[in-house]
Amino acid sequence: MDQGDATLLAAAVAAVFSVVSLFVSAHFARQSDLRSTRRTALANDFTELGNKLYQLVALSVKMSQCKTDATFAATRTQADAVAKEIDQVRLKTRYPLWGLDSGFRTIKWMPVYIAHMKDQRTSARTKELLVLGTYLREAMDFAICHAYFHGQQPTIIQRARVQWRAYRLRGYFDDGRFSLDAPV
């Protein structure tokens, strides 16, 4: 191989790497744009959503601790208002948080679940409902934070975890078939 062939080979290798670099750069630029777009879609509602989810479960706990029917009714009214706000935010963030809809639909029923236990506020069943609601909120918080900070939709594992937690909460409320022995 003489010097002319070596120069031609080096130029060909450089051209191939240049084209590959162009495609890789274009791919990563597109990925960056998609992440930025997804993050922007959640930016306005991120803090509000986390706050409202926490507030709903906290008000449900407060409902279970109320001593009088009047304070129970007032707390329930507050919790119902927060549940409606969560539903409004759910509609705005449906696509960026794809797959978490069952979690939103279930957690907004927490005040109703506790209201059904109004005469048994300190029972083990009420406490279990609160724990299952807290587990659902934590799973949703984790998935929402991942979606925001990584600029991606929640992963399939995060979506499955939220759906499982929602299923457990609904199932326990419906017929009490799940217990607290081992949180999954």
pLDDT in tens, the chain (184 residues): 788 888 888 888 888 888 888 888 878 777 776 777 777 778 888 888 999 999 999 999 999 999 999 999 999 999 999 999 999 999 988 888 889 999 999 999 999 999 998 888 888 999 999 999 999 999 999 999 999 888 888 999 999 999 999 999 999 998 765 555 545 5
Q: Name the phi and psi angles at 121, rounded to 5.
A: -60, -30
Q: Look up the domain containing 150 and give its range.
A: 44-175
Is 16 exposed, middle or buried, given 0-12, 13-18 or 19+ CB atoms closer than 10 A?
Answer: exposed
- Residue 160 placed within a domain: yes
- One domain for residues 153 and 118: yes
Do 76 and 28 share a structural domain?
no
User: Does residue 70 lie within any of the structural domains?
Assistant: yes
Q: How many domains does the chain have?
A: 2
Residue 117 φ then ψ, to 5°: -100, 25
Closest of 101, 124, 111 to residue 178, by C-alpha: 124
Q: Are residues 50 and 85 in the same domain?
A: yes
